[in-house]
């Protein structure tokens, strides 16, 4: 019987799993290395399977109360003149920006608040060692005394500690896309240019991208992308800020203003755009979930959807398996079988996605803007739809009973 579970990582996937298993009567402990629930991150959308999972959890309407008013995305030149735009109505509402988006921090809070008395959260904590024992896993923590769990779930992101403990070092699984991305929240001042519901993006030669998106009232969500595979140590904030300033020196539009906002941002984060490719996601009674197993990179636009779906599939199979007396390893194998095709499809980015997002030359920037205009014309919409279908994943949730 599998009834006591450790979840490493209090992100979208981890807390979705905790909500589901807790409601089924399982005892769940969630450990999170951060001292509190992580804030920050940009908008995530509630289209398709994401909405279906949240609806089944009874949380969709609460999430909808946090939607960010949006009109679309536009690409601007160094003087702020629009080169191309894509409204929320593009592609029948299936374009880059939708009307059904909320900030990741709000989604995380809704899920966290939905965890009940069966779920215990321990912040500033993580697993240091995992040891298989009879019908379970003995876990040594950074601060707490060792405990034994029936199952351990690694939902601790692209740089997963759990994955490194059971499958090996990150270098085996990381596939860099050649870009890095910084993001943070910028409080608006009287002099801050209004966005009026538009996400605005400025491309500069050298694969540099400066973006500002609507956030909570009185705030804008800022993104800075650039070419890089290796970054300063994640704990060296000063080196990270220095890298951004040197990289974006001389870039036009609002680059200088936004860079000045980095120092005061308490949700600042910098990381590379990577994918994670692992040929298996579980070992004994340890299993990976979300980006720790299959990161498709933010450029896919499917990270949150896959985390929600993966948690739904894993929890459903575990609960059903326990009721039927199915060995947990069988449920974990079925979880991989159902989720693998969806994650592979999500990692298959649209052709030219990376260079069109961050063009290297001035000519490439003009060409990308022309493409963004062209793809919205009637003859191109059908073609793009077919390409997107091959680069996305199935529109509905998998059938757990099949």
User: Considering the chain, what is the average pLDDT of its residues?
Assistant: 92
Distance between CA atoms of residues 317 and 324, nearest Å = 10
Distance between CA atoms of residues 231 and 302, nearest Å = 24
* pLDDT interval class at 79 (50, 70, 90): very high
The predicted structure's pLDDT at residue 383: 61
Contacts of 214 (CB under 8 A, 6+ apart): 43, 68, 69, 70, 195, 197, 198, 199, 220, 221
DSSP secondary-structure letter at 96? S
- Residue 133: alpha-carbon gap to chain centroid: 33
Determine contact, residues 99/67, Cβ cutoff 8 Å: yes
Higher local confidence (pLDDT), 38 or 289: 289
pLDDT at 156 over 90: yes
- Residue 361: alpha-carbon gap to chain centroid: 28
Distance between CA atoms of residues 339 and 56, nearest Å = 19
pLDDT at 285 over 80: yes
* pLDDT interval class at 53 (50, 70, 90): very high
The predicted structure's pLDDT at residue 97: 85
Q: Residue 237's CB: how many other CB atoms inside 10 A?
A: 14
Distance between CA atoms of residues 270 and 184, nearest Å = 9
The predicted structure's pLDDT at residue 98: 87
Burial of residue 239, with CB atoms counted within 10 A of its CB: 0-12 exposed, 13-18 middle, 19 or more buried: middle
Domains in the chain, CATH or no CATH each: 4-69+101-173+275-347 (3.50.50.60)
- Dump pLDDT digits (tens) for 185-239: 999 999 999 999 999 999 999 999 999 999 999 999 999 999 998 899 988 999 9
DSSP secondary-structure letter at 171? G
- Dump pLDDT digits (tens) for 133-153: 998 999 999 999 999 999 999
Length of the chain: 402
- Model confidence, pTM: 0.93
The predicted structure's pLDDT at residue 173: 97
Determine contact, residues 10/30, Cβ cutoff 8 Å: yes
Distance between CA atoms of residues 93 and 97, nearest Å = 8
Contacts of 264 (CB under 8 A, 6+ apart): none
Burial of residue 250, with CB atoms counted within 10 A of its CB: 0-12 exposed, 13-18 middle, 19 or more buried: exposed
* pLDDT interval class at 70 (50, 70, 90): very high
Determine contact, residues 231/106, Cβ cutoff 8 Å: no
The predicted structure's pLDDT at residue 380: 65
């Amino acid at each position: 019987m599998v009834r006591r579970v450790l979840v490493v990582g209090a992100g979208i996937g981890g807390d979705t799993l905790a909500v589901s298993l807790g409601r089924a009567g399982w005892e769940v402990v969630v450990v999170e290395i951060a001292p509190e629930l992580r804030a920050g991150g940009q908008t995530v959308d509630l289209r398709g399977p994401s909405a279906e999972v949240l609806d089944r959890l009874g949380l969709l309407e609460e999430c909808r109360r946090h939607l960010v008013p949006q009109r679309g995305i536009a690409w601007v030149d160094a003087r702020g003149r629009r080169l191309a735009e894509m409204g929320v109505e593009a592609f029948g509402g299936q374009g880059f920006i939708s009307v059904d988006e909320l900030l990741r921090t709000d989604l995380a809070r809704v899920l966290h608040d939905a965890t009940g008395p069966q779920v215990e959260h321990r912040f500033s904590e993580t697993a240091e060692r995992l040891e298989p024992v009879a019908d379970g896993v003995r876990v040594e923590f950074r601060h707490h005394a060792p405990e034994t769990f029936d199952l351990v779930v690694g939902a601790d992101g692209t740089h997963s500690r759990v994955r490194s403990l059971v499958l090996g070092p990150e270098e085996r699984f990381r596939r860099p896309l050649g870009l890095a991305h910084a993001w943070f929240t910028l409080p608006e001042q009287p002099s801050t240019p209004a966005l009026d519901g538009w996400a605005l993006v400025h491309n500069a030669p050298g694969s540099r991208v400066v973006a500002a998106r609507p956030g909570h009232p009185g705030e804008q969500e800022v993104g800075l992308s650039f070419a890089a595979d290796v970054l300063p140590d994640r704990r060296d904030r000063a080196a990270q800020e220095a890298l951004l300033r040197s990289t974006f020196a001389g870039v036009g539009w609002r680059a200088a203003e936004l860079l000045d906002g980095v120092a005061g941002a308490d949700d600042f984060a910098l990381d590379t755009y990577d994918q994670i490719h692992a040929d298996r996601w579980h070992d004994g009674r340890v299993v990976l979930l979300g980006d720790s197993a299959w990161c498709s990179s933010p450029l896919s636009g499917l990270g949150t959807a896959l985390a929600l779906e993966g948690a739904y599939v894993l929890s459903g199979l575990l609960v059903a398996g326990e009721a039927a007396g199915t060995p947990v390893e069988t449920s974990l194998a079925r979880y991989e079988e159902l989720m693998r095709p969806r994650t592979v499809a999500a990692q298959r980015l649209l052709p030219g996605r990376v260079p069109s997002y961050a063009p290297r030359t001035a000519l490439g920037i003009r060409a990308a803007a022309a493409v963004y205009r062209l793809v919205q014309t009637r003859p191109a919409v059908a073609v793009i739809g077919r390409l997107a279908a091959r680069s996305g994943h199935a529109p509905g949730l998998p059938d757990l009973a099949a």
